[in-house]
Copies of this chain bind each other. A is one copy, B any other.
């Protein structure tokens, strides 16, 4: 049955549970085949998919135009429409992203550790694919390709559930991915798009623990929250990115200013953007006015606690809610704290365990901060905006996790794998 036929049938029958079950079964079967696929075959599929995206550009952009005009007709906000729009340049970026993934080393088969027991048994811990990854996303059609490609790289089957706004775009992109899979002799079931816009499909996906090994939600807070609350399948996600820059007594003032401004203002809409500035009481009088002025000049609104406002009266007043708010906007909360201990206490209490940075030339303060702040990423003298798989050298990421199980921080191809123990003997029996 073609994808289009499946869609029609689904819309007719609306037996979402049956459709999802069939998708889950096909994904599980595909994952068994993909686990044995060579790195070469997977990379050929990724490169052929990139070529198919370029060759099909006209068809993909036409499908996208359909989504965009439907979104505009529905009166969607322009910021949402912007996330939805594809143009030749964005499409080329998507294709090039697949080639970059193809160029990464194959994580599958890597020996993570190896040792020999006194009885002669040789034990190796070897990477294997995780299995089936469910990706639930909203309006960005590029996730179809980025996430599908990264799952394939690590030998996993992907079930993609895109937002209804990007339905036609995602479908056109998945067709190109299927061409790539076919060209490499791999099963098209490696990357399946949920062929219905029925929202019940998400609920089904979240309950299919037998067929899905992990769910990666990509989108706004309400989506992540729903997935985390409802899912019976483990989830890689971060609900919030309440990231901090702490300016320590030992800070170099130039670095402090540059890092604070970059961490907040380089892009305010990313999860690694700083939301709170903490300044050591010992240097607040000298440094805070300067950093506040630089932030204000860059267009940032400031909300301070009483001590901060005493030093910079132009600041608005921060309420308790500000300490745990992810503005994703040109706003920053500012608090004066009692040294590195105060900073650690504030961050562990109010932060979201995502990404936090200390600015200091004092190695002892830096070590304490890096050790005691309980976040996926802790930085010393660097901007929180480096919280990104690409910046970490992972080549690509499927998201950033603030959970502690399996994956934490940027989730790249390696984090989409599991492992097995391979034990080689010569007839050993256990006494």
Contacts and interface: CB of A to CB of B under 8 A. Distances in A.
Contacts of A381: 424-428
17 contacts: A32-B348, A36-B371, A121-B391, A234-B405, A254-B427, A258-B427, A378-B421, A380-B424, A382-B424, A382-B425, A382-B427, A382-B428, A385-B430, A386-B423, A391-B430, A405-B405, A408-B418
A130 interface: yes
A378 B258 contact: no
Contact of A427 (B252, B371, B424): B252
Contact of A32 (B214, B374, B376, B426): B374
A187 to B, nearest CB: 16
Contacts of A406: 405-406
Given A381-B427, A392-B123, A420 B408 contact: yes
Interface of A: 32, 35-36, 115, 117, 121, 123, 128, 130-131, 213-214, 234, 252, 254-255, 258-259, 261-263, 266, 348, 366, 370-372, 374-383, 385-386, 391-393, 404-406, 408-409, 418-430
Given A392-B123, A429-B259, A409 B385 contact: no
Contacts of A423: 377-380, 382, 386
A385 B35 CA distance: 27
A383 B259 contact: no
Contact of A429 (B115, B258, B430): B258
Contacts of A430: 262, 266, 383, 385-386, 391
Nearest to A427: B255
A126 to B, nearest CB: 9
A227 to B, nearest CB: 13
Contacts of A234: 234, 405
A39 to B, nearest CB: 14
Contacts of A408: 418-421
A115 B393 CA distance: 9
A406 B405 CA distance: 6
A150 B258 CA distance: 45
Residue from the set A214, A377, A409, A423 with the largest chain B CB neighbour count within 10 Å: A423
Contacts of A123: 392-393
A258 B128 CA distance: 30
Given A32-B348, A430-B266, A409 B392 contact: no
A32 B426 CA distance: 46
Given A405-B214, A405-B405, A420 B378 contact: yes
Given A115-B393, A374-B32, A408-B420, A383 B428 contact: yes
A421 B372 contact: no
A353 to B, nearest CB: 9
B425 A380 contact: yes
Given A404-B418, A408-B418, 17 more contacts: A36-B371, A117-B392, A117-B393, A123-B392, A131-B404, A213-B405, A255-B427, A258-B429, A259-B429, A263-B429, A266-B430, A376-B421, A378-B420, A380-B424, A381-B425, A382-B423, A392-B421
A420 B386 contact: no
Contacts of A385: 429-430
B404 A130 contact: yes
Contacts of A258: 427, 429
Nearest to A385: B430
A44 to B, nearest CB: 20
A117 B420 contact: no
Nearest to A113: B414
A329 to B, nearest CB: 18
A414 to B, nearest CB: 9
